[in-house]
């Protein structure tokens, strides 16, 4: 009976997820990414939120996983991209050089019509060169190398930049990383904890490696002043985390931009 309840609940979540994607009822939340040199706002990362009327808030890691399993992730990611690009145009009226980072899953990126879709969005919303960045994780690097490079190269021709997310938490192949046309690298927050204990070897190594591969570095999950200070000493380029600002809804983020 317990299994049956779980199965029914899962079926219910799947059908609700289907509806959520169809009527685009997830919320686009935003977390600022600041330049470490002068604390100015560089970009924001889009973090999706799903508030279900009876199930409550469902964490993105959970619903993204289900969307992957039922092959709806590409539809979801595209809907997030569409809505965020429309939003960017409005937000750039408040902060002219603002850039936008969006998470995309490997399946979304490897879809053969994705580059065309991105081109349409760039044109439709007149997104300037370099203002849209796509965040991919190391799992993407497991895809067929030639196909992956083709896909990234075609999308970069639209002025889109690529960012490797959660760097160091998966199974990165450094030779693969070197072969990929990537622009930014995000250090996972789990590596920043050592900075509070005065151990900077890992962060220092990652930052130096990224810089020598011509990538700029974003440290995410920054939670303490000590981490900020150490990251500045290590020449990290950008910071993101609760210490600076938590993810916000559109109204809160608009207010945040108006205040700075
Ligand atoms: P991520 O891309 O690694 O995003 C960073 C996560 O860390 C976010 O969790 C964010 O809210 C959280 N975070 C930010 N600052 C701090 C901090 O200082 N300390 C700590 N402990 N956490 C911090 P969130 O919003 O729950 O998202 C989880 C994951 O879900 C994301 O991880 C991303 O992989 C995925 N995700 C979220 N929205 C989307 C989306 O629209 N599309 C896709 N494909 N994936 C998404
Ligand atoms: Ca991310
Ligand atoms: Ca991350």
pTM of the complete model beyond 0.95: yes
Does ligand 1 have an atom closer than 6 angstroms to the CB of 59?
A: yes
E-only strand ranges, the chain = 27-35, 41-52, 56-58, 99-103, 132-136, 161-167, 184-187, 216-220, 238-240
pLDDT digits (tens, 9 = 90+) for 110-168: 999 999 999 999 999 999 999 999 999 988 888 888 999 999 999 999 999 999 999 88
Q: Which residue has the tokens 């760097």?
A: 167
Which of 28, 47, 84, 138 has most ligand 1 atoms within 8 Å of CB, for mutation? 47
Determine the Cα–Cα distance for residues 126 and 138; give it in Å rounded to an integer: 30
Closest CA to 120 of 148, 145, 152, 155: 155
30: nearest Cα among 41, 38, 22: 41
Does ligand 1 lie within 6 Å of residue 166's CB atom? yes
Residue 35, beta-bridge partner list: 238
The average pLDDT across 242-251 equals 98
- Atom 43 of ligand 1, nearest CA residue: 103
pLDDT (tens digit per residue) in 189-244: 999 999 999 999 999 999 999 999 999 999 999 999 999 999 999 999 999 999 99
Max CA distance (Å), the chain? 59
The percent of residues in the chain predicted with pLDDT above 90, rounded, is 88
pLDDT at 185: 96
Protein residues placing their CB within 5 Å of the ion ligand 2: 103, 135, 165
Decide if 174 contacts 202 (C-beta within 8 A). no
Mean local confidence (pLDDT), 16-32: 98
């Amino acid at each position: 009976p317990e299994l049956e309840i779980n199965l029914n609940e899962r079926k219910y979540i799947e059908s609700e997820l289907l509806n959520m994607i169809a009527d685009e009822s997830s919320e686009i939340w935003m977390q600022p990414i600041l330049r470490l040199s002068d604390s100015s706002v560089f970009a924001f990362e889009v973090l999706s939120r799903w508030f279900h009327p009876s199930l409550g808030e469902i964490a993105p890691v959970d619903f993204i996983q289900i969307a992957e399993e039922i092959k709806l992730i590409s539809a979801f990611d595209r809907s997030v991209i569409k809505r965020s690009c429309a939003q960017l145009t409005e937000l750039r009226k408040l902060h002219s050089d603002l850039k936008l980072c969006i998470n995309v899953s490997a399946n979304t990126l490897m879809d053969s019509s994705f580059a065309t879709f991105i081109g349409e969005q760039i044109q439709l919303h007149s997104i300037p060169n370099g203002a849209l960045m796509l965040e991919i994780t190391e799992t993407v690097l497991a895809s067929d190398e030639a196909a992956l490079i083709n896909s990234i190269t075609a999308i970069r021709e639209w002025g889109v930049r690529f960012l490797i997310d959660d760097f160091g938490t998966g199974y990165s192949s450094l030779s693969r990383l070197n072969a990929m046309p990537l622009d930014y690298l995000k250090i996972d927050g789990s590596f920043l904890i050592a900075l509070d204990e005065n151990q900077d070897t890992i962060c220092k190594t990652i930052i130096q490696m990224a810089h020598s591969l011509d990538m700029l570095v974003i440290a995410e999950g920054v939670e303490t002043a000590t981490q900020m200070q150490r990251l500045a000493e290590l020449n990290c380029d950008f910071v993101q985390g609760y210490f600076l600002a938590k993810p916000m809804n559109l109204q809160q983020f608009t207010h945040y931009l108006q205040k700075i």
